[in-house]
Amino acid sequence: MIRRRSRLLTITALSAGALVALTGCGGSNFGGGADPGASGDADPGAEQGPIVIGAVLDITGVGANLGVPEQNTLNMLADQLNEDGGIDGREVELIVLDNQSTEDGAARATTELLENEGAHLIIGASRTGPSLAMRPIVEQAQIPTISIAANAAIVEGSEWIFKTAQNDVVVIENILDDMESKGYETVALARDATGFGEGIAEMLTELGAERGIELVATEAFEPSATDYTAQFTNIRNAEADANIIWGITPSAGLAQAAYRQLGIEAPVYQSHGVANSAFFEAAGDSAEGVLAPMGRLLVSDQLPSDDPQLEVINAFIEDYTEAYGTPPSSFAGHAYDAWMIGVAALEEAGTDPAALRDAIESTSDFVGISGIFTMTPENHSGLTADALILAEARDGRWNLADGQ
């Protein structure tokens, strides 16, 4: 029988720091403490009982457009794995907790997975802020964790955290390279006010200077916002050659609609936070012509036949569509990559935390949905700029931009 649990977790007003204190001082208290194979001296072949994979996702709240397809993906992959006999004959129990798109919720859910569920591996969170809230807790507990959010700060200097979404700095470089090729000299930014947008203006300033592009205005908006008039009035007044809207769906789509309603005609770039069909539902006709770097999933039907990711992407699209009646988003792809990398490491190393961490860090040339991953001690993201293409919004869908 397949064991899988998903539930909402009630949020209390506990800080991430307080939750760190709850987790204790060492990894030996977590990660399947009742598992006789969980000690560093044990033979992985002697491990018994279910392997517990926990996930902390933005299933409700502002990040639901990310978290729901991610949850679908993990449920589907857990079913497939257990139907095939699990990992070395051990059943895999997937426990999915909803952080309700909050940092406190993510911290609380992480502590729940560690203290009460004995998670051997954790996946999540969907967005940067919740992922950063999880970081001190899993580092203290010394349990391998694979985030599916974008900001490079999630893994910088980390020993126990990895991630599968393309780094934000690579996305910015992709946008600036296209701007430079078109002769743009100034850019303005409207960014998500949460952790996803932190540091973006600074990166644009530094990387833009290398390309002769100046950041002339920066505005911020909450992901729950519905009125963007003040922000885009200021963006319009800056008269930049091109503008960037850095957010996630649906707020990024609503911002895009406001941008056009205010009559701004300068070209628009969006971040990879809009790599789904829901962007078009929020933006409507204003989406037309928007450019956004993203992985290959949403343009798979336009890829050359020799693309090394094509077979994996097409198989995932077929499985997901059959299971849920709709194609997957790029965010579903981030969850796919985290699951597959984690499972491969569990098959190699078992559930001993240090051995499992080392196995994830040794991932090499793994062909996934978001790109081809090679992790190292210095690089817990594993993707290069080649993981991205530049897509253009045309006729209600994402297409390969000219020259791709």
pLDDT of residue 403: 83
Residue 41, both tokens: 């001296």
CB 119 within 8 A of CB 93: no
Low-confidence stretches of the chain (pLDDT < 50) are: 1-3, 8-46
Q: How many CA atoms lie within 13 A of 275 on its CB side?
A: 32
Q: What domains appear along the chain, each with residue ranges and CATH number?
A: 4-166+315-373 (3.40.50.2300), 168-294+388-400 (3.40.50.2300)
pLDDT of residue 212: 98
- 10-52 pLDDT, tens digit each: 333 333 333 433 333 333 333 443 343 333 444 444 468 999 9
CA 384 to chain centre: 15
pTM of full prediction above 0.85: yes
Q: Is the peptide bond preceding residue 107 cis, with omega within 30 degrees of 0?
A: no
pLDDT of residue 48: 80
Range list of β-strands (E), 252-339: 268-270, 291-294
pLDDT of residue 35: 42
Q: Which residues contact 320 (CB under 8 A, 6 or more apart)?
A: 72, 73, 76, 327, 328, 332
Dihedral (C-alpha) 250, 328, 367, 200: value to the nearest 10 degrees? 0
Rg (CA), the chain: 21
pLDDT of residue 43: 47
